[in-house]
Chain A
Amino acid sequence: MTPRTSLDVGGMGHSIKRKEDPRFIRGKGTYVDDVQLPGMLWLDIVRSPHAHAKIVKIDTAAALATPGVLAVITGQDLAKYNLHWMPTLMSDTQMVLPVDKVMYQAQEVAAVLATSRYAAADGAAAVTVEYEPLPVVVDPKKALEPGAPVLRTDKKDKKDNHIWHWEWGDRAATDRAMAEADVTVKQDIYIPRIHVASIETCGCVAHFDKVNDKLTVWMTTQAPHAIRTVFALVAGHVGLQEHKIRIISPDIGGGFGGKVPVYPGYVIAVAASVLTGKPVKWIEDRMENLQADSFARDYHITAELAAKKDGTLTALRIKTLADHGYTDAAANPSKFPAGLFHVCTGSYDLKAAHVEVDGVYTNKPPGGIAYRCSFRVTEAVHTIERMVDLMAHQLGQDPAQFRLQNFVKPEQFPYKSALGWEYDSGNYGGALLKAMEQIDYARLRKEQQEKRQRGQLMGIGISSFTEIVGAGPSKHFDILGLKMFDSCEIRIHPTGKAIARFGTKSQGQGHETTYAQILAEELGIPARDIQVEEGDTDTAPYGLGTYASRSTPVAGAAAAVAARKVRDKARKIAAHLMEVAEQDLEWEPGKFSVKGAPDKFKTIQDIAFAAYTNHPQGLEAGLEAVSYYDPPNLTYPFGSYICVVDIDAGTGEVKVRRFVAIDDCGNIINPMIVQGQIHGGLTMGLAPALYEEISYDDNGNIQGGSFIDYLLPTAVETPKWETGHTVTPSPHHPLGAKGVGESATVGAPAAIANAVVDALWHLGVRHIDIPITPAKVWKVLREKGVTE
């Protein structure tokens, strides 16, 4: 797409440098832990070594005797204010601090308030807690067996560990199609627990000003406005009212979904500040972050896919156990307890599909949040892409050709999927063919054959994913009743510069730049003249925040709509200034000119000045607008990824030799930023595919609870990503754009897993669960008699 604006204006399509970078490259960002207030106190948290245990006694004497320690806060203390439990985003309940028992290892048990970071740590180390261990449930299948210990004894009539059953699609039609199919494939797929592990952990500084009854909280949150409302709803009875709560989300060192929930630490810090009237800082360390913050995934999936002899796919059936830990604290739209998992028919034209998911309680930390992924979409994509590959191999067909045959075709859009989604636009074949060409697919297949003759293990894997982002149309999407619109407020100053504020919050995506570019595109005001602000609930308009790749689809659209409102008023002013009728004016970015007399024009800057100095009678002064944008549909970005792996038969190591990613996110605002999002997303797809997992032993002890064993890839493990794109605009988005932040995370794991299985298919290997570690591959190889 050739940009409509000049590089100087920097509208859509320009790779302008980011406006946020000058502070970051000087070390002048302000992250939560950089906030230091006079008289500030510190909070450190005592955590449970047990996964399930009764609390017999909490002895705080030694802690209170530690120099600098002011108080030890327990569940009993919070219970006095009825703050020991809080609601989760899925209307379940979660402990802030326990009064009688702990439900997972590393759960908060007590909090120590002290005058310094070091004293708080000493205090936490000095608290002794006596526990009486209870039977531990880690396996969700066992959790559902009759006689399993019931975990949620706090819920009066709860007799088992089953949280909810959810199903979607036409069961009868799917069963029929399955029965009639020529070929079916069936596979158990486990998608493990993983953790977003942004390099900045979570934390806050809570400051309750007793004189003005005002609470200000600097916190690592992706959704400051929603948090303010939740605080007001949960703590209204202790005097916190919404107009007296200010949430400030400062610079955030990566979010990826992990900074959506409300964690107990935040609430304890707020309570401590309200009680003492002093600022209180809580910053979790990495182990607390990995062990206690919300996790992602943990889906035990059984999938069946059906096809005709000629390779036409017909039906998909999925049953899933969703391990939610001890509470359902997933960050999903309320109506969808399994998120958007039912986008699992993917890029394929299936006639029938049915999905069932059962949520289960176990003795693990709560979660079911994203990992740079929109509401369970990775789970969906991984399943369908693995299954389609299985089917292609089963039928002896080339996986690329097989996909091309079964894709939803461009002329079928808008396309209604078997599970009821209306895909807005797509050209799946276009992306796959481009990826095949870029990587030279035919030559790779030849190389693979030659290598196989020599006993070398090389695999080629494809993933042709369809994403679903930009929640969402408010008739279907809300979180705790709050509709999932988003907002933009623009004010043009007399000198033609502007400030724009949003309800979202960037965590590295570069909103200060891309939003300014959208406004530059719509108004012709240079992006550098537009100040973008987010994350302060006292100043920004209400919005639901940044996650699930919704900022561009929703807040970006709000920006365009608000800008168009500004333009409508600007037209009136221009008509007044040039003494012509409004309909005689023509807009091009930056100015209104008189039709047929192009040298007669007023620039947006002229108009802005006039809005304050010479506005027409009968029109209000000023030039500003607000939009609360409620999208008519979600957007459906897509792409095709091809990956080449080599496997070391001696050690089981998998090396990603090449990885080509062709993405389509509709019209592109800043190509540089989009490519950066894809690089990052691919790396967060590589990570769970080969390295990352959080697991538990039979006693509920966490494995992988620090960076010693939770393996974030370094630059050495990460391949040199090769990217490209096609452009299929969204028909309903004002800019034709779609979200992109998560596509690559969603699409990449399946490409890698498919490549590994492709390398080993001839040995009889059908599936390996991610993460595909050297140890797992070695085991499979030796079972198949391959050795060095």
Chain B
Amino acid sequence: MTLRLAGEAGQGVESGGAGFAQALSHGGLWLHTYTEYMSRIRGGLNFFQIRVSDHPLWSHTEGTNILVAFSPEAVRDYGPHIVPGGALLHDEGLKFDHDAVARRGTQLFPMPLTKIAQEVGGNKIMMNTAGLGALAGIIEYPFEFVADVIKKNFKRKGDAVVEGNLKVAAEGYRIAQERYAASFDWKVSPLDARPHRMLINGNQALSVGAIAAGCRFMSGYPMTPASSILEFMASHARKYDIVVKQTEDEIAAICMAIGAGNAGARAMTATSGGGFSLMVEALGLAGMAEVPVVIVEAQRPGPSTGMPTKTEQGDLLFALFASQGEFPRIVLAPGTQEECFHAAARAFNLAEKWQCPVIVMTDFYLTTSMRTLLPSEFPIEHVTIDRGELLTSEQLDRLAGPYLRYKDTPSGISPRALPGHPKAVHQACSDEHDEYGHFEDEDAANRLKMAGKRMRKFRNIVEDLRAPTIYGPERAEVTLMGWGSSYGAMREAVDLLNARGVRANMLHFVDLWPFPEAKAAPLIEAARQLVAVEGNQTGQFAHLVRAMTGRRADRLVLRWDGRPLSPEYILATLEEAKVHA
């Protein structure tokens, strides 16, 4: 079932929702949370929804079983999302069109939330605590789990606040259970098995991956939905020996990371499409000067400022081809929170091994959605750290000839020496250069040699990249194909299709560029009906696949209204197109 809390910014929808999610997670339940907020600090309309189940979840779904509404707009906009037989829980004083809601078959559960907050807690502010208590009462989720989270989360604010909130929540719970539990069909009970699990979103998982990989330097400029990476890294800088720098703009952000990366610190920056646009010239510098740097591109709908707090996968081809000229880069697009962790950890290795920029693409949906995951999905202590062909000072001591920073080698990789060794005085260079790194921006033969060397890397990188993952039965009638954050929606859509008797499977790409053609082409060719599923308007990945393999997707399932792909959306679009009629 899905629970949704909605109200104005500042009404504690997000923090209350996250607390409730913790309470459910501690009961062993599996969650997927999804949040939408307006691009403003106070007022507006926000929601935080929790899908809860007794088995692992991959995606949000459309439809809400119970909506806790703290504002009239929340009822107006989200009331229609309530499923038949579902309920609207609200303060008894909230003004909205009761008849309109009742006409849709929604049950109304008015509660004296403000009154409880005031009379029991002594402060109106606790009304969302009353609401959460009431919510737990209606779904008959044991109060102790809610109480534990209140104790934990309000501890900092002192005993009086903890006591007040506990009393308010308990009163909300008691009244709501008494009045409404019997008429609400959906219940949530803790599971017997309650192993420790993590409740983590994409940006957090990616940051943990970066820390695990030994990221030592991060520079960034705030931009939704990437900012929380910079904030997470800043809050962990002291503990994990990381220099974190907010810069004057995104140009400086990538430039500082390039400076640090070239000097030997594992470095990254994170931004969204607008900031990435500013980074493009320096991206080319990292390509030309062969500097390892990791760039997170957390997409939101463009063009320009677009929809700052909504989601889209519209920057794919931009990320692949941004910058003048041709040079190797690597593009990864994790599909899930756990893949964010692994992609970040891999990105640092790939960047140092191939001495090139690595772009990790996510989007608003993935960065903000949390899932419950077993800690074993985050093997922090077991990540591999591979710095590639990095010469040690002993190797440099023994160096017979001059050190060639851009030595032409069969792999295209020129062994790297960090600045500071007497035998490795060298120049990194943004102009075309010779093997020493000195300007050689005229000579044709040198150009062929050096550009050839760089592109040799590009052709070899693909060996290090992974095939798409396959989910679902072989020899399917329908194959969904996607990349990045659509993984969960596609996977649940595949399950739904198979349950309905349609043999369906999916191909999901994390490693996008260089396109893993040899590994992917046979899988794509084997698809009977190939359906590209993407969160953009033009089917960018379908274009790429067609360019790389010649295979044209038979159908496109696209979404570009700022909302994430969901299993139901995919199914409805397929039905419209009569894909499995």
A and B from one assembly?
no
| B interface residues, Cβ below 8 angstroms from A | none
| A interface residues, Cβ below 8 angstroms from B | none
